[in-house]
Structure formats: C-alpha cells, structure tokens
Amino acid sequence: MTTDRTLVRRISERFREVNGDHPMTAADDTYVTGQFVPLETVCEAEGRDADEARRLMLDGLLPLPGYLRSDGAQMVPRDLFGLVAEAGGPGRLAAWFAAHWEDPAEGAAEWEAYLSGQYVCLHTVTPATIRRKGELTAEIAAALAAAGPDPSPEWRAALHARVDALDVLEPAFTGYDRLRFGGPTSRDTCVDVPRALYPPLPDTP
C-alpha cells in the first residue's frame, strides 16, 4: 500500500508544533524503540490503514505519535487503538473519554492533553490511569511540602506507598522528554526525589 508522504509530513510538522524541535540522541532512539512501535506496525497488526490513522490524528480524533525517532519513524503505543475500540469507534472516543471526569471542562482539557500524544508518562494510557497518576502526584507533592525535619516512620511508609504506586504506572522517560517538557519529569520529582530525600527505614526485628 502506498504511503501518502504529505500526510506523513503534516503529522511530523504537527508533532514539532506541539513538542518543539529537539534532537533525538542514540539513547533516546533506543529507549523509544523499546517502549513504542512505528505507526505502520500497529496499523498492520490491527488491519488498519496508516494514512487513515494519520487523518484521524489531524482531525483530532486520535492522539499524535508519542515520539518522532531520529530516522523519522512516527512512534506510537502498541495499544493505540485500544480506547477507540472500547469507545465504539473514533467518532465516539472524545465524548467517551471526557465523560470519565465529572467536570466537563476538566474532561475537555484532558482530552486535548491526550490528543497531544504527550501522555508518554504512562505505560498504559486510559482515563483511569491518567486520573490515578494525577491523584498520586498531587498527594506526593503535598506530602513533600508538609514534611517536617524528622518525618515519622508512618509518614515515610505512607509516602513510599504512593511513590511505589506511581512507579508502577510510569516508564523511565528519556532525555528528550526533559527537553520537550522544559524540565524534570514527574518520575524525577515524584519518584526519584522522594526516594533520595527519604529512603525507606530499615526493617526492625
């Protein structure tokens, strides 16, 4: 099947509009190849047309790729079409997705964030995991802000329970992410920093 190079170019241009134009290093490429797959690979596995998928992205019905590898490959999650199937088709996805938030404005904002392709901060992107990540990062940030000079063992245990739960949800990220997001990732601030500042206390006999 012939690929429409105009659609490929438009997706790459749209990606850079959203993320900026930052270089991908060899380490970035290795990370992305391990976590994501080219759009054509997912479409072939799903019996879908890659050009049609790109049209859905440009029409705001499917999220943009998570990364552009340095060879130009448009990298997407393996389950790119999972939510489409659950919602009953691309035309129903927006309403289905936003309905997972009680506040319509919040649901609409999360839908726009989802379309950006920037939810590379989750192994599996669903409304439930997005909400859970938001809850955990807010709770961890609040705990760190309220920490006294000598937090109790109970406080540390509660902090590490939240950090461990977030750790399960999030991948490692790569250097490119810190460039496009303009600073530390949520893993940096809500997993690595808490563990460095407040190591788990040794078990007592």
140-162 pLDDT, tens digit per residue, is 999 999 998 889 999 999 999 99
pTM: 0.92
Helix (H) or strand (E) holding 75: strand 74-76
3-state secondary structure of 44: helix
Closest CA to 79 of 41, 110, 121, 51: 41
pLDDT digits (tens, 9 = 90+) for 41-91: 999 999 999 999 999 999 999 999 999 999 999 999 999 999 999 999 999
Whether the predicted pLDDT of 204 surpasses 50: no
**Considering the chain, what percentage of its residues have pLDDT values greater than 90?**
94
Phi, psi of 122 (to 5 degrees): -135, 140
Task: Give the ranges where the chain is alpha helix by DSSP (H).
Answer: 5-19, 26-35, 39-46, 50-58, 82-87, 90-98, 104-115, 127-146, 153-169, 175-180, 186-187, 193-197
pLDDT of residue 205: 42
Taking 70 as the threshold, does the pLDDT of residue 174 lie above it? Answer: yes
Sheet holding 74-76, edge to edge: 37-38, 74-76, 67-68
pLDDT for the residue numbered 1: 57
Cβ distance 13 to 76 under 8 Å? no
Backbone angles phi, psi at 68, to 5 degrees: -110, 110
Model confidence at 103, in pLDDT bands (50, 70, 90)? very high
Residues in contact with 43: Cβ distance below 8 Å, sequence separation at least 6, in sequence order: 49, 50, 53
